[in-house]
């Protein structure tokens, strides 16, 4: 096997990823300050709440810009993420042995997005939308909406925070720290993974792209 | 220390609004006089009630209610201000303890540390707290009756009664040990009942664990515009007592789980390498 590389994420996607995730982390941290009583003193005089609003504006506007510039890429990503087949069930069964023990035997070959990545997409899309709806109501309707509605909005915002926040830890851990995910970091920073990594982690996808090359 | 309270007797109140004025004056809550010269279009809205609502600078106001009973019109007056609940929704939802219970039982707050989140506004069963708020930036500060414990203007620490009580000319407002005032309120209710006010009642003895403002009323609280059985909202409980503790647990377990995965997976990877 030569040491040639294949492109996993094109530049616009990587830029989108980093701006959007930067906003998400900013929102996560400034939200956490209201969530954990021991950190609440940091929110005195509203300034972390102002940052939360700046983060929210970036969080909403950047994906919209991307959608306008590149609707096909978004449609393609959504299609990949929301198309499930028997190999995804196989992934779910094999995942514990694989991610703990490095046992690849039960792991079906994966496409461009593996099942874990599909689930993360699902969480990002569903809770992203919930964050925006509940957040915008708490932001702009604070003086006009009924108190009970505003309180339930915080409640749903918190559920979104708990689920997507916990999964954010998993996401960062897998991308940066997990011993087997050797090329995930270079994929989302420089765009490329080694052919070896692509073959092992995204077998179906690697077969597709290398076939394309042969034909070309 | 014995808990303190205010007893308000609606049947002795003449709605002179001296308490409203004393509250503003003592707490330095100036307000423009609503005239056209001052840029406020004052209008007649059919009531002597004024100002029409509580605000960040109006912590106490008298509510005027007109009802028809037995072919006669009655003109009722109620005090509208913080009730200083024992089980206070505002204290429950305050994210950083800016709202807290004073050692004498009522609900005080530290305006300097207020985050402006406004959660207390939606959690109060009596719709009391108000805030200034820039709707775009979200910058806000909450205000409400402090039971005259505003730092620098603390009458209670001096052993004085609150400004509203001090000024009340008819004795409709009284300040003292809560237990004494409950007993006195009950006596007053009995007197009213023997005089024919069969619906007379003492409001605040047990509501929300006991309010620190007690009301002697000659009729149902509903007629006076008070919630008959005020409750901590379901959302407050679901959010503060259920989902937040769950959140801390989920966060903690996730981190522990990932740490364990890292130890196991790394040990395996090393074994494999050998
Ligand atoms: C468009 C997106 C968002 C908007 C408009 C938004 C807006 C808000 C608003 C208005 C509040 C209420 C407090 C305040 O007035 O400052 C709030 C609270 C909060 N936000 Fe967001 N937010 C958004 C996204 C997020 C994201 C992505 C996270 C976390 C990953 C997050 C975490 C939180 C948390 C934890 C709280 C505190 C809830 C509590 O006190 O229990 N928000 N947000
Ligand atoms: S009346 Fe409202 S503001 Fe006053 S203590 Fe009760 S919940 Fe808090």
Tens-place pLDDT, residues B48-64? 898 889 999 999 999 99
Query: Is the domain of B238 the same as that of B136?
Result: no
Query: Is the domain of B34 the same as that of B161?
Result: yes
Residue A208 pLDDT greater than 90, yes or no: no
Q: Which of residues 102-141 of B touch A (CB under 8 A)?
A: 112-119, 121-123, 127, 133, 135-141
Query: Cβ–Cβ of B261/A40 closer than 8 Å?
Result: no
B169: exposed, middle or buried (Cβ count in 10 Å: 0-12, 13-18, 19+):
exposed
Residue B272: its pLDDT value, please?
79
Query: Is the domain of B73 the same as that of B182?
Result: yes
Query: Cβ–Cβ of A162/B264 closer than 8 Å?
Result: no
- Partner residue opposite A155 with nearest CB, options B137, B140, B235: B235
Is position B224 within any domain? no
Query: Is the domain of B207 the same as that of B260?
Result: no
Tally of domains in chain B: 2
CATH number at residue B143: 3.30.70.20
Q: Is B174 in the pocket of ligand 2 (CB under 6 A)?
A: no
Instruction: Write down the ipTM of this complex.
Output: 0.92
B273: exposed, middle or buried (Cβ count in 10 Å: 0-12, 13-18, 19+):
exposed
Tally of domains in chain A: 1
| Mean pLDDT over the full length of chain B | 94
3-class secondary structure, A184: helix
Query: Is the domain of B266 the same as that of B160?
Result: no
Is position B70 within any domain? yes
Tens-place pLDDT, residues A153-194? 999 999 999 999 999 999 999 999 998 898 999 999 999 999
- Determine which residue's CA is closest to atom 22 belonging to ligand 1: A135
B61: exposed, middle or buried (Cβ count in 10 Å: 0-12, 13-18, 19+):
buried
Query: Is the domain of B272 the same as that of B192?
Result: no
Query: Is the domain of B240 the same as that of B153?
Result: no
Q: Does A157 touch chain B (CB under 8 A)?
A: no
Residue A212 pLDDT greater than 70, yes or no: no
Is position B65 within any domain? yes
Residue B255 pLDDT greater than 90, yes or no: yes
State the residue range of the domain holding B136.
4-217
**What is the percentage of chain B residues whose pLDDT exceeds 90?**
85
Is position B225 within any domain? no
Query: Cβ–Cβ of B265/A169 closer than 8 Å?
Result: no
Residue B73: its pLDDT value, please?
92
Stated pTM of the model: 0.93
Query: Is the domain of B156 the same as that of B246?
Result: no
Query: Is the domain of B69 the same as that of B196?
Result: yes
- Partner residue opposite B117 with nearest CB, options A49, A53, A99: A49
Query: Is the domain of B206 the same as that of B240?
Result: no
Q: Does A37 touch chain B (CB under 8 A)?
A: yes
Query: Is the domain of B63 the same as that of B134?
Result: yes
Which residues, at least 6 apart from B127, have a Cβ–Cβ distance to it below 8 Å? A147
Residue B199 pLDDT greater than 90, yes or no: yes
Q: Does B248 touch chain A (CB under 8 A)?
A: yes
Which residues, at least 6 apart from B157, have a Cβ–Cβ distance to it below 8 Å? B149
Residue B22 and residue A200: Cα distance in Å, rounded? 78
Q: Is B121 in the pocket of ligand 2 (CB under 6 A)?
A: no
Mean pLDDT computed over B121-138: 96
Substitution target in A165, A166, A171, A178 with the highest count of B β-carbons within 10 Å is: A166
Is position B9 within any domain? yes
Residue A213: its pLDDT value, please?
62
**Ligand 2 midpoint to CA B231 (Å):** 11
A82: exposed, middle or buried (Cβ count in 10 Å: 0-12, 13-18, 19+):
exposed
Mean pLDDT computed over B234-258: 96
Q: How confident is the model at residue A216 (pLDDT cuts 50, 70, 90)?
A: very low
Query: Is the domain of B207 the same as that of B140?
Result: yes
State the residue range of the domain holding A98.
5-215
- Shortest distance, CA A216 to any CA of chain B (angstroms): 38
**Ligand 1 midpoint to CA A52 (Å):** 7
Buried b (16+ CB within 10 A) or exposed e, B97-121: ebbebbebbbbbbeeebbbbbbbbb
Tens-place pLDDT, residues A112-153? 999 999 999 999 999 999 999 999 999 999 999 999 999 999
Q: Name the more confident of B39 and A82.
A: A82
Residue B269 and residue B10: Cα distance in Å, rounded? 78
* Secondary structure (DSSP) of B234-258: HHHHIIIIIIHHHHHHHHHHHHHHH
State the angle between helix axes of A47-69 and A115-140 in degrees (0 to 180), rounded to the nearest 10.
Answer: 120
Residue A214 pLDDT greater than 60, yes or no: no
Residue A118: its pLDDT value, please?
95
CATH number at residue A77: 1.20.950.20
């Amino acid at each position: 096997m030569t040491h040639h590389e294949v492109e996993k994420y094109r530049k616009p996607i990587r830029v989108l990823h980093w701006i959007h995730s930067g906003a998400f982390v900013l929102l996560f941290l400034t939200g956490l300050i209201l969530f954990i009583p021991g950190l609440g003193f940091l929110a005195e005089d509203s300034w972390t709440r102002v940052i939360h609003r700046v983060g929210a504006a970036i969080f909403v506007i950047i994906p919209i810009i991307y959608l306008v510039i590149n609707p096909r890429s978004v449609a393609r990503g959504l299609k990949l993420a929301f198309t499930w087949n028997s190999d995804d069930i196989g992934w779910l069964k094999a995942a514990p042995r694989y991610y703990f023990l490095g046992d690849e035997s039960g792991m079906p070959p994966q496409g461009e997005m593996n099942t874990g990545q599909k689930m993360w997409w699902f969480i990002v899309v569903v809770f992203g939308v919930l964050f925006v709806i509940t957040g915008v109501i708490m932001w702009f309707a604070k003086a006009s909406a009924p108190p009970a509605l505003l309180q339930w909005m915080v409640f749903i915002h918190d559920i979104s925070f708990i689920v997507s926040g916990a999964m954010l830890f998993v996401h960062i851990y897998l991308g940066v720290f997990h011993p087997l995910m050797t090329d995930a970091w270079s994929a989302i920073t420089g765009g490329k993974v080694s052919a070896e990594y692509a073959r092992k982690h995204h077998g179906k996808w690697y077969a597709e792209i290398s076939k394309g090359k042969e034909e070309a | 220390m014995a808990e303190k309270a205010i007893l308000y007797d609606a049947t002795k109140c003449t709605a002179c609004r001296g308490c409203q004025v004393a509250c503003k004056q003592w707490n330095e809550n100036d307000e423009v006089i609503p005239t056209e010269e001052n840029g406020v279009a004052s209008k007649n809205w059919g009531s002597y009630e004024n100002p029409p609502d509580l605000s960040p600078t109006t912590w106490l106001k008298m509510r005027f209610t007109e009802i028809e009973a037995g072919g006669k019109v009655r003109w009722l007056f109620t005090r509208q201000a913080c009730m200083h609940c024992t089980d206070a929704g505002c204290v429950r939802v305050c994210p950083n303890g800016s709202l807290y219970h004073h050692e004498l039982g009522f609900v005080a707050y530290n305006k300097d540390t207020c985050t402006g989140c406004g959660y207390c506004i939606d959690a109060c069963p009596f719709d009391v707290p108000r805030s200034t708020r820039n709707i775009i930036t979200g910058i806000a500060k909450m205000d409400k009756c402090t039971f005259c414990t505003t730092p620098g203007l603390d009458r209670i620490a001096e052993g004085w009664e609150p400004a509203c009580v001090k000024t009340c000319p008819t004795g409709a407002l009284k300040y003292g040990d809560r237990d004494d005032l409950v007993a006195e309120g009950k006596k007053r209710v009995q007197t009213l009942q023997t005089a024919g006010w069969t619906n007379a009642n003492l409001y605040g003895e047990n509501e929300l664990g006991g309010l620190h403002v007690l009301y002697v009323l000659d009729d149902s609280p509903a007629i006076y515009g008070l919630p008959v059985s005020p409750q901590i909202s379901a959302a407050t409980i679901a959010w503060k007592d259920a989902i937040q503790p769950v959140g801390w647990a989920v966060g903690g377990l996730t981190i522990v789980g990932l740490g364990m995965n890292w130890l196991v997976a790394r040990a395996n990877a090393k074994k494999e390498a050998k």
